[in-house]
Amino acid sequence: MDISPVEPVIDAAPPAPREPFWGYADLLLVMGIIVASIVLIALAGVVLTLQYPGLRNDPTPLLLPAQVVFYGFIYLALLFTLRARYGKPVFPSLGWRRTRFNLAIAALGGPVLAFVISGLAALLRTPQVPSPLDRFLKSPVDLAVVGVLAVTLAPLFEELFFRGFLQPLLSRTFGVLAGILITALVFGLMHAPEYAWAWQYVVAVSVAGAVFGWVRVRTNSIIPSTIMHGCYNLVFVIALVFTKYVKHS
């Protein structure tokens, strides 16, 4: 009787989890929710202007609440996709994690980047286009509130979506460098309507987005890029306040 040696059974190692764990179907889902939110916010604005005719000539009071609601929809889209579909928390999944990177350097890097981008814009002969904040200059209080949002909620949600959600997905498909650059270009194009689609602004904002993306990869966290982004925005808010209220006082 032939007795063959029994080969030991070796359990196969479990496959490494996919990083990031979401895919392009999830990206389409998030984008669909965001687009739907824009439509709903626009419809709500139409209803309010019909109910309050004064808003037709000056829709400024609607802009700030609409922006906050829009950020809320972005969070809900990410929450539904990551937690409802995968049972994962939003912030840690998108890179909101502790890092050894010195956050003071990130904070200092924001103003440095702002001056570099301003110099680049000057070299590109960027046309003078009213800042998105100019519409709030009728009231210093409104400008102060918008300025706070520009250095807090705006960079937070932009980093969550662009560097937290989009960039890792593109990097998984096309490589880290391409992921950074494509995300930065999308970031610049998303800001184009605010600046009358001037290509110089798209280039400048895209370069800033590439720096934020590099910081996100370098630190493996979106906390430094969010802090840098907020301090970057702060420079332009201070410059606008100085130009409109201090220089002419």
Query: What is the residue-level pLDDT of the chain in tens, covering all 249 positions?
Result: 555 555 555 555 566 678 899 999 999 999 999 999 999 999 999 999 999 888 877 777 888 889 999 999 999 999 999 998 999 999 999 999 999 999 999 999 999 999 999 999 999 998 987 766 666 566 677 778 888 899 999 999 999 999 999 999 999 999 999 999 999 999 999 999 888 889 999 999 999 999 999 999 999 999 999 999 999 999 999 988 887 766 655
| 221 Cβ contact list (under 8 Å, min separation 6) | 95, 96, 97, 98, 99, 101
pLDDT of residue 64: 84
Prediction pTM value: 0.89
pLDDT of residue 131: 65
Q: Helices 223-241 and 140-151 sit at what angle, rounded to 10 degrees?
A: 160
Residues constituting the chain: 249
